[in-house]
Amino acid sequence: MTQCKICSEIFTSDKSLHAHLKKHNIYQAEYYCTHFPRYSKFYKKQIPFINKKEYFSIEFLNLQEFLDWEKSVSVETVKVKCLDMLKERIAEKEYIYAPFHNEIKTLSMPPINIYKKYFNSYNEACKQINIEPLFNKGLPKDFYSVDVDDKEILVDTREQDPLEFKNTKVEKLFIGDYLLNDGSYNYTYVDRKSESDFLGTLSSGFERFTREIEKAVALGSYLFVVIESDIRAIISNHKLYRRKTNLEYVFHNMRSLSHKYPRHVQFIFSGSREKSLDLIPRILIHGQKLWQVDLQYFIDYELGIRPSKTKKIELNIQ
């Protein structure tokens, strides 16, 4: 039961209340911000209204606010808050594995480096709440030292803008765009996406792409989706070019597929076509050694491709 704060009429659901607000010529945002004002935990700024659920759950406006708050309180307070936020996400989505790096980057959650700072590792933080991370293995030591030039890579005949590796062979593939051709099948495929391909695939092409992942699952295989952009650039370009694609829907689908088909699909944002050219052969060569590695985390923080420390990092994509 819920009561209208304007006229005191009682409603059995939020949906009926929200429909009723039209009679008062008021939007949901104005109604909740006026009658249920909420302010961020550290900056004490009013929380913007996106929808009721987010409005009442958000505590920090962005990652920068969390980082400023984190420095102002005790270690134990931060640890409790980090675990609470992790538990809330897992309980809300009924996950069997804890969130991964790219998921956290698109949500209002502390980054994995914060968990490493206070718990020594993300695995240890997850262990304290009795759950295993979706990706829980370390990067192979020879990830970048392995020789990739002499390996032949199969390129799907339907790949419209193929990468030019040193040694390739065009062949129709059952899954993805690229597969290692070294005489042994390692069950690892790569699907290459431009930024626009990624947005289209996880919006209008979502059902078709889901079937692609299901083919990989049926074969006991793994699909790495390598996007020739990064999350920051996608968010920035979305605003700059006023794209109609619902970006939150796209990221929601990325997160959802990763948990619906755990350890069968992973989305990697390489940052550029040039970096994809270097990254894809290494993914194919290492194959199953990477299936439980949060590769994006290592790309962002331990392989030299680091986000700028001078810019404030936004947690919300709106």
Residues 64-119: tens digit of each pLDDT? 999 999 999 999 999 999 999 999 999 999 999 999 999 999 998 999 999 999 99
In-domain check, residue 166: yes
> In the predicted model, what is the mean pLDDT of residues 155-169?
94
> In the predicted model, what is the mean pLDDT of residues 242-251?
91
pLDDT tens string 9-67:
999 999 999 999 999 999 999 999 999 999 999 999 999 998 999 899 999 999 999 99
Task: Write the DSSP symbol of residue 22.
Answer: G
In-domain check, residue 315: no
Of the pLDDT bands very low, low, confident and very high (cuts 50, 70, 90), residue 182 is confident
Q: Provide the pLDDT for residue 313.
A: 35
Percentage of residues of the chain with pLDDT beyond 70: 95
Same domain membership, residue 106 and residue 48: no
- Of 179-188, 207-216, 220-229, 247-256, the one with minimum mean pLDDT is 179-188
| Cβ count near 287 (within 10 Å) | 19
Of the pLDDT bands very low, low, confident and very high (cuts 50, 70, 90), residue 292 is very high
In-domain check, residue 258: yes
Tokens of 182: 């070294």
In-domain check, residue 306: no
Same domain membership, residue 42 and residue 124: no
In-domain check, residue 309: no
pLDDT at position 238 over 70:
yes
Q: CATH number, domain at 216?
A: 3.40.50.10130
Q: Provide the pLDDT for residue 316.
A: 37
Taking alpha carbons only, the member of 87, 66, 63 closest to residue 78 is: 66
Same domain membership, residue 34 and residue 78: no
Q: Distances from the Cα of 113 to the Cαs of 38, 50, 72, 99, 152, in angstroms? A: 28, 28, 18, 13, 37
Q: Provide the pLDDT for residue 307.
A: 37
| Cβ count near 266 (within 10 Å) | 24
In-domain check, residue 175: yes
Give the Cα separation of 163 and 105 in Å (integer). Answer: 28
Q: Provide the pLDDT for residue 81.
A: 97
Of the pLDDT bands very low, low, confident and very high (cuts 50, 70, 90), residue 304 is low
Instruction: Annotate 27-90 with DSSP letters as a single string.
Output: -HHHHHHHHS--B-TTT-PBPPPS-HHHHHH---SSHHHHHHHHHHS-HHHHHHHHHHHHHHHH
Of the pLDDT bands very low, low, confident and very high (cuts 50, 70, 90), residue 273 is very high
Same domain membership, residue 226 and residue 258: yes
Same domain membership, residue 162 and residue 249: yes
Q: Provide the pLDDT for residue 309.
A: 37
Strand partners, 223: 189, 265
More confident residue, 311 or 281: 281
Domain count, the chain: 3
Tokens of 318: 């709106």
In-domain check, residue 172: yes
pLDDT at position 318 over 50:
no
Tokens of 32: 């909740």
Q: Provide the pLDDT for residue 310.
A: 34
| Residue 13 structural domain | 2-55
Same domain membership, residue 225 and residue 174: yes
Q: Distances from the Cα of 79 to the Cαs of 56, 83, 232, in angstroms? A: 22, 6, 27
Q: Provide the pLDDT for residue 108.
A: 80
> In the predicted model, what is the mean pLDDT of residues 197-225?
97
Q: Provide the pLDDT for residue 242.
A: 85
Q: Provide the pLDDT for residue 184.
A: 80
In-domain check, residue 138: no
Helices (H), the chain: 14-20, 28-35, 52-57, 63-72, 75-93, 101-105, 112-119, 122-128, 195-201, 206-218, 231-240, 247-260, 273-286, 295-301
Q: Provide the pLDDT for residue 71.
A: 96
Same domain membership, residue 202 and residue 87: no
Same domain membership, residue 160 and residue 78: no
> In the predicted model, what is the mean pLDDT of residues 155-171?
94
